[in-house]
A = this chain, B = another copy of it.
């Protein structure tokens, strides 16, 4: 069934396979009047581009975006924004042997079970290249949010068991180094660890954090369309994510109410919370403090070690996967997490436009 769309009002539909002609996204429901050009999108895409460090796949792709519709005289028109990136560095030959067996930890087996066959070249639709569409859409959402003063910022929180220290937090560092960690010292240790993983023909996992600042209180719908529920879906829909947390996350289960509750206090005429265990969401609705979420990524399943698996013909076999793989996907996934968060926040912000008679009267009377 149709599963390639996300969002209700700001609605994105991605398409494309790793080794097809192109990858793209249609962004429908973007409000008219937002200044937008290809450079806004390209900046985001460049953050997920392969080949930029020794810890990413050596596949060389320019990943140049083309905006095909929905923008006129430098502004969005309110109609669908179609964006496309041509695939240029397909080396299908790398993958020809994959056609005959199921890589452990990959979606080869499940696609075959679901559809009866699959586009095996580079993982087809389950490839990480699918996220190009998400990131292009995320660039649009982020730009719009920034017009309202809202910022969405993701970074690498941990690689393996190496965590950043919030005392050393430095976002520029995160954008410059190959780990995406906003902590120079932690990043250096993580690089050593990754080098060792590569020497062992192995791969690593990690954690990405994302925060949203300046989101007004009141965003998110009760019951099923809770802000945290939609963020969870958005983040868990990224390949390789195995856990999602909001605020204190799993640690909250160990706490008592007296320590976990955030007190409200007046700061001048503004209601604030003195702590933020909740991560900025109460009852599924934003409370005006910072939204804080975490995404836990499993290690890249493609490793160069020999592994046991089965062939399509039902034989037990051993395989060694060739090709070009990232030993860790976390650094390149930072902008994907940021994009999915931005898309979700914007969609929920738009959904909230219609929740009060006074909003409606502001627009129509």
* Cβ-based interface call for A256 (8 A): yes
CB-defined contacts of A68 to chain B, threshold 8 Å: 15-16, 20-22, 24, 84
CB-defined contacts of A81 to chain B, threshold 8 Å: 15
CB–CB A69/B21 < 8 A: yes
Q: Report how far A116 CA is from B314 CA in the complex, Å.
A: 40
Which residues, 335 to 365 on A, are CB-close (under 8 Å) to B?
A: 349-365
* Cβ-based interface call for A178 (8 A): no
Smallest CB separation, A26 vs chain B (Å) = 5
> Which of the segments A39-47, A54-62, A70-78 contacts the partner chain?
A70-78
Q: Report how far A253 CA is from B294 CA in the complex, Å.
A: 12
CB-defined contacts of A69 to chain B, threshold 8 Å: 15-17, 20-23
In-complex Cβ contact of A28 among B4, B237, B246, B288 (8 A): B4
CB-defined contacts of A354 to chain B, threshold 8 Å: 1, 9-10, 29, 31, 350, 353
* Cβ-based interface call for A269 (8 A): yes
Chain A contact residues: helix, strand, loop or mixed:
mixed
Asked if A223 meets B3 with Cβ closer than 8 Å, knowing A68-B20, A244-B243, A264-B309, the reply is yes
Asked if A237 meets B260 with Cβ closer than 8 Å, knowing A115-B78, A148-B360, A205-B255, the reply is no
CB-defined contacts of A243 to chain B, threshold 8 Å: 243-246, 249-250, 252-253
Interface string of A282-300 (1 = CB under 8 A from B): 1111111000000011111
Asked if A224 meets B5 with Cβ closer than 8 Å, knowing A233-B229, A248-B242, A355-B115, the reply is yes
What is the size, in residues, of chain A's interface with B at 8 Å between Cβ atoms?
Answer: 169
Q: Report how far A231 CA is from B243 CA in the complex, Å.
A: 11
Smallest CB separation, A30 vs chain B (Å) = 9
Q: Report how far A269 CA is from B115 CA in the complex, Å.
A: 19
* Cβ-based interface call for A308 (8 A): yes
In-complex Cβ contact of A79 among B113, B124, B281, B284 (8 A): B124
CB-defined contacts of A316 to chain B, threshold 8 Å: 265-266
